[in-house]
Amino acid sequence: MIIEEQIEENLIFKVINRIKVKYQRKIDRYILYKKSRWFFNLLLILLYANRIYNIGGFYIVTYIYCVYQLQLIIEYFTPLGLPPVNFEDDENEDDQFQNDFVELPTTISNKNELNDKEFRPLLRTTSEFKAWQKSVFSVIMAYLCTYIPLWNIPVYWPFLFGYFFIIVGMSIRKYIKHMKKYGYTILDFTKKK
């Protein structure tokens, strides 16, 4: 009885592993095609927007999707090794970190072997490819949620729309504060030509 359960668990583990490997092989083929990947993502977003427009509902799902995309963008533009941009009231923590020096990572090993004059871009918390994967997954999940009537909660959408822009404003303010605190800009992620 115990041996049979172990064999079943082992078989399930092998099947799941095999599916993961096949998925990874499939998805790795698209790493080099950056513009095509983002065009595909844009196409999915337009299909989702068209569905929402035609149905005239699922505004909660759209709101959650948009907030997740905002969080993903902030995560993409946050350097590796820094604490995440949080939305807690940390007014007291600002005074504590004013004199602290934080060295932002520019290499994975963070060795100082390279010439100091050489430009080295910051490493991102989330790579471009992972950000694309998360974005595609989230739009597919949001699209699938539109087929579940449970998620079609009646809500006055202008409130959600306005509240989303309030959240965007607060997030931008908090992110600018985070950039000033740790001394980086969005341009630090780009390569110098």
The distance of Cα 44 from the centroid of its chain, to the nearest Å, equals 17
SS (H, E, C) the chain: CHHHHHHHHHHHHHHHHHHHHHHHHHHHCCCCCHHHHHHHHHHHHHHHHHHHHHHCCCHHHHHHHHHHHHHHHHHHCCECCCCCCCCCCCHHHHHHHCCCCCCCCCCCCCCCCCCCCCCCCCCECCCHHHHHHHHHHHHHHHHHHCCCHHHCCCCCHHHHHHHHHHHHHHHHHHHHHHHHHHCCCHHHHCCCC
pLDDT tens digits along 6-23 = 666 778 888 888 998 988
pLDDT tens digits along 61-92 = 999 999 999 999 988 888 887 777 775 545 55
pLDDT (mean) for 158-168: 93
Q: Which of 95-99, 147-151, 169-173, 181-185 has the lowest mean pLDDT?
A: 95-99
Q: Residue 159: is its pLDDT beyond 60?
A: yes
pLDDT band of residue 106 (cuts 50, 70, 90) is: low
pLDDT tens digits along 22-51 = 888 888 888 888 899 999 999 999 999 999
Q: For the chain, what percent of residues have pLDDT higher than 70?
A: 74
| Spans of all domains in the chain | 1-30, 34-189
Q: For the chain, what percent of residues have pLDDT higher than 90?
A: 41
Cβ partners under 8 Å of residue 162, min gap 6: none
User: What's the pLDDT score for residue 95?
Assistant: 47
User: What's the pLDDT score for residue 193?
Assistant: 47
pLDDT band of residue 53 (cuts 50, 70, 90) is: very high
Other C-beta atoms closer than 10 Å to the C-beta of 174 total 16
